[in-house]
């Protein structure tokens, strides 16, 4: 069994998502498939399943009618900032893609932690509103399964903000890109408050990993 990481992220369905203008987000889109028949320089073809009465713009064709549902297909020019292009550059396919409540939900499998960090950093660079919904790590030994679910809802909004700011500032790097006082200043809080938030957040995350 591999030691990869399964990640589920939420991104805006608007630009640079290829679904910008395809649907208004009120109707869920499932079973998204993607291919680039002409290579990197050509158009990219997307296919998805949604309600049969979905209102779509010109250029989106119904390719199969299931009755209540239908399969739709459209072509678009490649966009280097698209989350799918980000995954392509890392040699990773999107294993599952849906659009729900105006958000593009993408699931992929990273081979290791550095690859995961690189993908998430690239997502965040093109779409700052990116959210990590779930991370699952598999066991590296065939004798056992050791999947770990990290539920972001266990953290308060403030704790998530503190963690994200500290991470972006390089607080967890070695050597540190920023110390506790510098991160606290950027958040507009004092150092002791920062320490309380970061300790509480780390304790919650570690309890998930260790239990």
The model's pLDDT over 191-206, given as tens digits with 9 standing for 90+, comes to 889 989 988 888 887 7
* Alpha carbons within 13 A on the beta-carbon side of 103: 13
pLDDT of residue 69: 92
Tell me: pLDDT of 149 over 70.
Answer: no
Residue ranges per domain, the chain? 5-137, 152-210
pLDDT of residue 169: 86
CA angle 9, 147, 152 (to 5 degrees): 40
Percent of residues, the chain, with pLDDT higher than 70: 87
For residue 142, give every residue at least 6 positions away whose Cβ sits within 8 Å of its Cβ, in sequence order, or none.
Answer: 1
Q: Which two tokens stand for residue 3?
A: 């030691």
- Give the whole-angstrom CA distance, residue 78 versus residue 86: 11
pLDDT of residue 1: 46
Tell me: pLDDT of 147 over 60.
Answer: no
- Give the whole-angstrom CA distance, residue 147 versus residue 141: 12
pTM of the prediction? 0.63
Return mean pLDDT, the chain.
83
Nearest to 103 by CA among 188, 189, 17: 17
Tell me: pLDDT of 143 over 60.
Answer: no
Q: Which two tokens stand for residue 17?
A: 């998502």
Q: Which two tokens stand for residue 89?
A: 């550059």
């Amino acid at each position: 069994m591999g030691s990869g990481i399964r990640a589920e992220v939420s991104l805006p369905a608007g630009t640079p998502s290829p679904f910008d203008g395809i649907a208004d987000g009120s109707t869920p889109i499932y079973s998204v498939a993607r291919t680039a028949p002409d290579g990197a320089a050509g158009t990219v073809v997307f296919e998805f399943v949604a309600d049969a009465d979905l209102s779509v713009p010109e250029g989106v064709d119904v390719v199969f009618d299931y009755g209540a549902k239908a399969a739709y297909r459209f072509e678009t020019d490649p966009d280097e900032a698209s989350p799918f292009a980000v995954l392509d550059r890392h040699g990773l396919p999107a294993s599952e893609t849906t659009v729900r409540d105006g958000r593009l939900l993408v699931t992929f499998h990273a081979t290791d932690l550095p690859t995961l960090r690189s993908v998430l950093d690239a997502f965040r660079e093109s779409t700052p509103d990116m959210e990590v919904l779930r991370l699952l790590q598999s066991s590296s030994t065939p004798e056992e399964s050791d999947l770990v679910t990290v539920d972001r809802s266990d953290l308060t909004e403030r704790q998530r903000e503190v963690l994200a700011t500290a991470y972006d500032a390089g607080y967890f790097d070695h050597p540190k890109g920023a110390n506790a006082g510098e991160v606290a200043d950027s958040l507009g809080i004092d150092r002791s408050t920062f320490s309380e938030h970061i300790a509480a957040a780390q304790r919650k995350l570690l309890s998930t990993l260790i239990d």
